[in-house]
Amino acid sequence: MTMGIMVGVANIIWQQTFGRYDDPLLARVKDLEKKFVERMAHPAVVLLEFVPSIRHLDGVMGNHIQKFLDVNNGLLANSKTSVTYSSTQYNEDEESESFADSFMREMRRRDAKGEEPGTFTHTQLVGACYDLWSAGFETTVTTLRFMFHYMINHPDAQRKVQKEIDEHVGKRSVQMEDQKSLHCCNAVIQEVQRLANIVTMNLTRMVNTPMKIDGYDIPVGTRVIPEFNIVHMDEKEYERPDFFFAERHVNEVGEFMRDPRITPFSLGKRSCLGEGLARMEFFSISPHLFNILPSLPSLKSLPLSTHRFASLDLQHRMRC
Ligand code: HEM
């Protein structure tokens, strides 16, 4: 199941980033991405963010920082190879198929007009493709795996979603327009994102205006790390927050209610660039997952995965 989800998600991001397929490259990236998240979650690598001098002790601590850098460099090298491959296939006269094509078109346009390249350089293109992959692959795969996991453990919710899909969609494929009528499905997705908290701790921010929170003065220059799950799991906000209960996201007439307190993609100017794509992926992939569930053996005994370290949920602990 995991492999199926990985292949589906990888194909979508690959299509968006590079447009054209190169199977050996794609397979290598998928493999590296898995290792990337596992190594990034190592305590030594997480601590590096707060105590940079810890890198000097890497050798005596088992070279975990170096191992992480090796995978990171592998991903960057892959991004470089993929960009080179895309540029050999690029055709000026065809419409842009992907992010890389559009980027190259602008690079060449500026070059042809003798304009300054600005940020439209080869290095930026490689870095941006790398960013899209590293930010968009594992996050989406892990959320979908959680979705599957919660559905297996909550057959009532599963049946409601399946009934809704049968009534509104039937045998055809789900389309984005169906989102308006699939209220249970939306509620399940939102509840999974509330509970899964896959980016438990967000990226570090620095305070640029003095502020007071809960009586504490936070001076300019303080590094803060927003934690979404403090709100997602707050008993003052949600009744039994630890409990999977998708119905909390529908109103009395059964319509889905978007909840602004649930912020898995963060908030503000630097919030997730791929939120729209990820939401589209959840909506287009999850009904298919929900529909194949009855043919699976009962896996209800699987423990819910709450094994997390720092900003990452260690998805390899789940076996589905
Ligand atoms: C379940 C899916 C996803 C989750 C939960 C998620 C979550 C996040 C979070 C919490 C951030 C940090 C925002 C901040 O700094 O405040 C982020 C940043 C980012 N995400 Fe996602 N993400 C997901 C999927 C994707 C996808 C599919 C893509 C693109 C293909 C993507 C691309 C990015 C990029 C490029 C950034 C950096 C944005 C910036 O610094 O301006 N993400 N994401």
Q: pLDDT band at residue 293, thresholds of 50, 70 and 90?
A: low
Could you give the number of structural domains in the chain? 1
Instruction: Look at residue 22 and tell me whether its pLDDT is greater than 80.
Output: no
State pTM to two decimals: 0.87
State residue 152's pLDDT score.
85
Domain range enclosing 257 = 2-317
Decide: 9 and 25 in contact? Cβ < 8 Å.
no
CA distances for 119 relative to 126, 128, 134, 240, angstroms? 12, 11, 20, 48
306 Cα to the center of ligand 1, angstroms: 21
Residue among 132, 272, 277, 283 to mutate when testing ligand 1 (max atoms within 8 A of CB): 272
Decide: 283 and 176 in contact? Cβ < 8 Å.
yes
State residue 23's pLDDT score.
66
36-50, 254-268, 272-286, 305-319 — which is least confidently predicted? 305-319
Decide: 151 and 293 in contact? Cβ < 8 Å.
yes
Q: pLDDT band at residue 138, thresholds of 50, 70 and 90?
A: confident
> Rounded to the nearest 5°, which phi and psi values hold at 223?
-90, 130
Q: pLDDT band at residue 78, thresholds of 50, 70 and 90?
A: confident
17-31, 41-55, 237-251 — which is least confidently predicted? 17-31
136 Cα to the center of ligand 1, angstroms: 7
Percent of the chain surpassing pLDDT 90: 49
11 Cα to the center of ligand 1, angstroms: 18
CA distances for 11 relative to 44, 253, 255, angstroms? 32, 38, 32
Residue nearest to atom 11 of ligand 1 (CA): 272
CA distances for 293 relative to 45, 84, 166, 320, angstroms? 37, 41, 14, 12
Question: Ligand 1, closest atom to CA 198?
Answer: 5
The CA angle 64-6-80, to the nearest 5 degrees, is 60
Decide: 172 and 225 in contact? Cβ < 8 Å.
no
Residue nearest to atom 1 of ligand 1 (CA): 140
State residue 299's pLDDT score.
53
Residues with CB under 6 A from ligand 1: 13, 131-132, 135-136, 139-140, 143, 198-199, 202-203, 264-266, 270-274, 277-278
Q: For helices 2-17 and 23-40, what crossing angle results, to 10°?
A: 110
Residues 124, 103: Cα–Cα separation, whole Å: 10
Contacts 24+ apart (CB under 8 A), 61-65: 64/39
State residue 21's pLDDT score.
67
Decide: 23 and 47 in contact? Cβ < 8 Å.
no
State residue 64's pLDDT score.
93
CB atoms within 10 A of CB 55: 16
Task: Specify the CATH number for the domain of residue 313.
Answer: 1.10.630.10
Does 272 belong to an annotated binding site? yes
Mean pLDDT of the chain: 86
